[in-house]
Amino acid sequence: MTKPFAEVFWGVKGRGSLVIDGVEMILPPEHIAIYLPGMVHEFTAIDEDWEMRWWTMDGPLTADIMTGMGLNPGVFEAGPAPIELFDQLEEAIRDPSPLGERRASALAFELLTLTHGLSTAAKHDALVNEILGYLTVHWAEHDLSVTSLAHRFHVHRSTLARRFQAALGTPPVDYIITMRIQNAMSLLQQTSNTVAEIAHQCGFSEPNYFARLFRNRTGYAPLEFRKQEH
């Protein structure tokens, strides 16, 4: 069926067949397959023991975000699936509270960012993996910065920034901002909290700065975005 959301499969064992843009592709272990919104999602097992993990993302900016990160439809080599992250995501999804929703959004975005960095040799950087795990929990803290991360992980600020950029293709500041904006988008859609409250919940001390940044990233002022149909 044609689906209105993006879907990412990560092969664990066995093989599956996926039809992407009319072309049949095989998803073996340690590979990912990507569908974008509006595409026909069609997949079947080849081996009886086919196992994979998957997640979906929706919203009006999903396709733009994924293609902007260089993530296009197809099957790509990925390495072992991060099972622990998928388990954490499932646990967060089962929590219907706003905190659970924010955590699920952060975990899904971490998976997306890991997918983005798969083609680089630096994806095996243990320091970057530790930082990503830390950001999953602490992304909304107001005192979070590249300097505070460098202090926590006992590395020079410029070294941290260079290794993060090499692994993920984006500076750590931009990564943190994107996580915060993504979660702000979710809060604007799912809650009646004021813009100032959402700015504070997402790690921004100044609501006006948050509003300017939100418009620059999405093309909408926060209240304009809330009025859109999602």
Distance between CA atoms of 204 and 201, rounded to whole angstroms?
Answer: 7
CATH assignment of the domain containing 90? 1.10.10.60
- Structural domain harbouring 50: 1-81
pLDDT of amino acid 230: 47
Alpha helices in 46-171 (DSSP H): 62-68, 83-93, 98-116, 126-138, 146-152, 157-168
Same-domain check for residues 121 and 38: no
Instruction: Provide the residue type at 187 as one letter.
Output: L
Query: Both tokens of residue 223?
Result: 């209240």
Query: In the structure, what pLDDT confidence band is assigned to residue 117 with cuts at 50, 70 and 90?
Result: low
| Whole-number Cα distances in Å, 1 to 25, 37, 40, 186 | 17, 11, 5, 26
Same-domain check for residues 64 and 145: no
Same-domain check for residues 64 and 167: no
pLDDT of amino acid 119: 43
> What is the per-residue pLDDT across 87-108, written as a single tens digit (0 to 9) for each?
999 998 888 887 888 788 888 8
Query: Both tokens of residue 34?
Result: 């990507």
> What is the per-residue pLDDT across 66-79, written as a single tens digit (0 to 9) for each?
776 667 788 888 88
β-bridge partners, 27: 16
Query: In the structure, what pLDDT confidence band is assigned to residue 229 with cuts at 50, 70 and 90?
Result: low
pLDDT of amino acid 121: 39
Same-domain check for residues 71 and 164: no
Same-domain check for residues 93 and 14: no
Same-domain check for residues 117 and 178: yes
Number of separate domains in the chain: 2
